[in-house]
Amino acid sequence: MLRVVVQVSDINNVDQALTSCNNLINEIPDAEVEVVFHQSAINAVVRGSTVEDRIRDLMRRGVVIVACRNSMRSRNITEDQLIDGVKIVNAGVAEIVRKQAEGWVYLKL
């Protein structure tokens, strides 16, 4: 089974990135997908963001959504501000390389 770790960095391209995530799971429904939000894109996973509904929809479809704690810290985002169900890792980039080392395929959006 295909496992894909997706990196989303740029808040200005988050809409396109989420569309691409949807396209991916529509095309490969049995893929295991984890999407890591870091850098400015971290704002997408905050409750009340313009894409909150789309993030929730991805989680409902089985996609794991991950927030980078380093990115949260540098923007003063606290854990309780995140959309329910979003997981946290210390460093988004470390998560991305570790997943690849475990055999996950990488996609940068």
Please report, as ranges, the residues that interact with its own copies according to CB under 8 A: 2, 4, 7, 9-10, 13, 16, 19-21, 23-24, 26-28, 31, 38-40, 68, 70, 74, 90-94, 96-98, 100-101, 105-109
What DSSP letter does each residue of 3-28 carry, written as one string?
A: EEEEEE--GGGHHHHHHHHHHHHHHS
What is the nearest approach in angstroms of its own copies to the Cβ of residue 83? 22
Residues 12 and 9: their CA atoms lie apart, in Å, by 9
Using CB atoms within 10 Å of the CB of residue 46, give its burial: 0 to 12 exposed, 13 to 18 middle, 19+ buried. buried
CB of 18 to its own copies, least distance (A): 12
- Of 59 and 93, CB closest to its own copies: 93
Place of tokens 């854990």: 79
User: Which residue, 24 or 83, is less far from its own copies as judged by CB?
Assistant: 24
Nearer to its own copies, 26 or 78 (CB): 26
